[in-house]
Amino acid sequence: MVTGSSATPANQSEDCAAGPTPRCRQLIDMSLDPDKAFNTPAAELDSLRLAAAQELFALRVEQIPLLKKRAQDAHIERITSFADLVPLLFAHTVYKSYPQALFDKGRWQAMLQWMQTLAVSDLSNVDLANVKDVDDFVERLWAAGHAVLTTSGSSGKISFLVHTMQDRALKTRHIKHTQAWPFTEPSKQRAIFWFGPMRGRNSAVELAISNEENWGRPGKTRALDERPLLISEVSKSAAIRKKLADGVATPEEIEAFESEQKDKAEASARELAALIDELLDRRHEPLFIYSGWAQQLMVRDRARERGIPDGDFHPDTILLAGGGVKGLRVPDDYREQVGAFYGSVTKLGVYGMTEMAQLMPRCNGNRYHIPPGLILLVLDQTGDRLLGKQDEVDGKLTGRVGFLDLLYEGRWGGLITGDKATLDMSDRCACGHAGPTILDTVARYSQLGEDDHIGCAGTIDSYVRAGLSS
């Protein structure tokens, strides 16, 4: 049985200070009543958002060296329009912009110096004496009060995201009140089936822990992997995959990697089969199920092997399936097949990413709604220009997603993503709630085979290098 206790659960107090400034708090707290929050006209929200953005910028520009440098070079002194935010958004690669040699050689003091260019808090209190590896490095950060999370490193490098414990508490609170909107409200009566690990300093693990805190019946959580997710193992695997992709892996490295992957795959297959059978055994209980789409097709196939019909789940079960399917052999209608298998259970959907605290819930009209405390920006493909009325086609804007998340106190929440999305500018969604809304067609530029170059990425990297050499 797995719980999130080892990962320092977030404090879920409803009266914790929400956001770093008064106007940020006002907007973030609106999500405590999502029916009202997602039914407030955009014009009313945008005036508040613009004022909050200026309030937050005035605070962060004096705290985060990289933001200050960016603002100076762009000649931005105040946020007077949403277009003023565009030059201040960091490329999504910035949180893995450290020189790879620092990571590979364990130069943890230099890694800390890199991290400080992006962080609000003073990181100089971290004890780096005799750090063994990257996992030890991250644990030292946590021990000093800095809740740093890592990402999967699928591109070959690990991202490091500085949080505070307040950030974690507010993220958990936001998920509690908005993730299941408008279908149901959270209650701690469901067994959690999480098709992934639930221990470790990882962004996906953090989401698992938040959902366990919000939805889980005490002692009834079941995860795919009971071992801690170690950054050193993830980064090692990502590095060799990149070498394979680049054609520079040695025969010895390839042989060792393939042998290790075979052993892991066999163990994972056994663990996954056991988890699926336990889920099916308990299908008449209220469950909260999270997994990738391909895993859910495996659940469906195993159910058919056991003679279990479609729709044979407790009606209070919640399904949250997601993740990409690139490179996986799945049918074109995989979502519909999974939906038909589970029947009338509540099927949730959210749009967001590891760098975003305030995820966007999907309504029953299959549109994603934007929380009041999130400023969503649709940019041109290079991320250099904010799209406007002149760029609309049939009342919709299609481009690169950028955003400023007003929740964070640990870092600047402005980012240019790798996602291409369409924003319907209508004042009202088909579900009856206020717009604009994002269509359920979001995809990464890289997966679409389109140019994923972000104009500011090279400039921001040069700022980082300059900061490390000063």
As a whole number of angstroms, the distance between CA 400 and CA 367 comes to 17
Q: Please report the pLDDT score of residue 455 as a whole number.
A: 77
- 155: tokens are 């591109």
- 125: tokens are 């209190």
Q: Give tens-digit pLDDT for 212-251.
A: 999 999 999 999 987 888 888 877 777 777 777 788 888 8
Range of the domain at 300: 179-351
Q: Please report the pLDDT score of residue 465 as a whole number.
A: 67
Q: Please report the pLDDT score of residue 300 as a whole number.
A: 96
Mean pLDDT along residues 12-17? 56
Q: Answer yes or no: is pLDDT of 67 > 70.
A: yes
Question: Is position 238 within any domain?
Answer: yes
Q: Please report the pLDDT score of residue 9 as a whole number.
A: 43
Q: Give tens-digit pLDDT for 44-65.
A: 999 999 999 999 999 999 999 8
Question: Is position 301 within any domain?
Answer: yes
Q: Answer yes or no: is pLDDT of 5 > 50.
A: no
Average predicted confidence (pLDDT) for the chain: 89
Matching residue, tokens 């990257």: 134
**What's the angle, vertex CA 419, arms to CA 290 and CA 421, rounded to 5?**
95
Question: Is position 55 within any domain?
Answer: no
Mean pLDDT along residues 366-385? 97
Mean pLDDT along residues 414-426? 96
| b (16+ CB within 10 A) / e for 64-82 | bbbbebbbeeeebeebeeb
Preceding amide of 436 cis, omega within 30: yes
Residue type, 446: S
Beta bridge partners of 223: 194
The radius of gyration computed from the CA coordinates of the chain, to the nearest angstrom, equals 22
Alpha-carbon distances, residue 55 vs 2, 51, 64, 78, 80 (angstroms): 42, 6, 15, 9, 11
Q: Please report the pLDDT score of residue 245 as a whole number.
A: 78
Q: Assess contact for 429 and 445: CB atoms under 8 A.
A: no
Question: Is position 285 within any domain?
Answer: yes
| b (16+ CB within 10 A) / e for 345-360 | bebbbbbbebbbbbbb
pTM metric for this prediction: 0.89
Q: Please report the pLDDT score of residue 327 as a whole number.
A: 61
Matching residue, tokens 């613009």: 50
HSE toward the beta carbon, residue 294, CA cutoff 13 A: 9
Question: Is position 103 within any domain?
Answer: no
- Give the distance from CA 223 to its chain's centroid: 19
Question: Is position 329 within any domain?
Answer: yes
Question: Is position 50 within any domain?
Answer: no
The pLDDT-based confidence of 324 (bands split at 50, 70, 90) is low
Q: Please report the pLDDT score of residue 458 as a whole number.
A: 66
Q: Assess contact for 438 and 409: CB atoms under 8 A.
A: no
Q: Assess contact for 141 and 2: CB atoms under 8 A.
A: no
Domain total of the chain? 1
Lowest mean pLDDT among 182-186, 267-271, 322-326, 449-453: 322-326
Q: At what angle do helices 251-281 and 293-305 cross, to 10 degrees?
A: 60
- 329: tokens are 């052999």
Percent share of the chain, pLDDT over 70: 91
Q: Answer yes or no: is pLDDT of 270 > 70.
A: yes
More confident residue, 253 or 112: 112
As a whole number of angstroms, the distance between CA 210 and CA 168 comes to 9
As a whole number of angstroms, the distance between CA 61 and CA 88 comes to 10
The pLDDT-based confidence of 156 (bands split at 50, 70, 90) is low
Percent share of the chain, pLDDT over 90: 70
* 3-class secondary structure, 152: coil
Neighbouring residues of 370: CB distance < 8 A, sequence distance ≥ 6: 360, 376, 436, 437, 438
* 3-class secondary structure, 403: strand
Mean pLDDT along residues 97-124? 93
Neighbouring residues of 470: CB distance < 8 A, sequence distance ≥ 6: none
Q: Please report the pLDDT score of residue 267 as a whole number.
A: 83
Q: Answer yes or no: is pLDDT of 1 > 70.
A: no
Q: Please report the pLDDT score of residue 320 as a whole number.
A: 94
- Give the distance from CA 25 to its chain's centroid: 21
